[in-house]
A and B are shown apart, each in its own frame.
Chain A
Amino acid sequence: QSALTQPASVSGSPGQSITISCTGTSSDVGSYNLVSWYQQHPGKAPKLMIYEGSKRPSGVSNRFSGSKSGNTASLTISGLQAEDEADYYCCSYAGSSTPYVVFGGGTKLTVL
């Protein structure tokens, strides 16, 4: 199972919206609406931001939203804030046998 494909970096100015893509295959992203997104600040553990494609855990800002089309999932952050600058990883369920989940390579978000 190959890693999901994410852009290495994206950037945006405060107040703008950005979208991070996550491309998989028909065996993972395309087959299940079970993509999750994680935010990771330097030196910190990943934090769950989106699960089951578009659901937000309690406490996560509604500026974060998730969607999917075909084999590509997307994370959109609206109203960019300085604290959104971080690495973002997508992860997809990949079926009921190992590896079960596959991660993306990560995207560095820079708030200009």
Chain B
Amino acid sequence: QVTLKESGPVLVKPTETLTLTCTVSGFSLSNARMGVSWIRQPPGKALEWLAHIFSNDEKSYSTSLKSRLTISKDTSKSQVVLTMTNMDPVDTATYYCARIVRASGYVSDYWGQGTLVTVSS
């Protein structure tokens, strides 16, 4: 059974750095066919892809947020970590991690429950 679970702070202050952890089970981060994406959704708005990482440490970032994002993984812990620097109230959103399948066009076939992050002083 594939599961993903996001964890991290629910509240961050403007200018702070956000660190989110995605803990996965039911598949291995060493599986070459699969990776993990981070996707966010501001309240009442659409989904926005942020970044992804694969077993060979291949990474990619949203063009608009690239300077603020870092994605990494710890295969032994089955965890993927996303950091976002210089947080702003517009970054308030539910942040999801999802398993992606490369051969199917990077489709997100399993999602975590999401974690709501509010940026406020």
Interface residue ranges, A against B (CB under 8 Å) = 1, 3, 32, 34-36, 38, 45-48, 51-52, 57, 89, 91-93, 97-106
Q: How far is the CA of A103 from the CA of B114 in the complex (A)?
A: 17
Among the stretches B17-25, B60-68, B78-86, the one at the interface with A is: B60-68
**Given the complex, which residues of B lie within 8 Å of A36, measured CB to CB?**
104-105, 107-108
Check if A89 sits within 8 Å of B106, measured CB to CB: no
- Candidates B47, B105, B110; contact of A103 at CB < 8 Å: B47
The residue in chain A whose Cβ has the minimal distance to the Cβ of B116 is A43
Complex A-B: 22 CB contacts under 8 Å:
A34-B105, A34-B106, A36-B105, A36-B107, A46-B108, A47-B111, A48-B108, A48-B110, A89-B47, A91-B47, A92-B105, A93-B105, A97-B60, A98-B60, A98-B63, A99-B49, A100-B52, A103-B46, A103-B47, A103-B48, A105-B46, A106-B47
Q: How far is the CA of A57 from the CA of B60 in the complex (A)?
A: 26
Interface residue ranges, B against A (CB under 8 Å) = 37, 39, 46-49, 52, 60-63, 66, 96, 104-114
Q: How far is the CA of A46 from the CA of B114 in the complex (A)?
A: 10
- Candidates B61, B66, B107; contact of A48 at CB < 8 Å: B107
Check if B105 sits within 8 Å of A101, measured CB to CB: yes
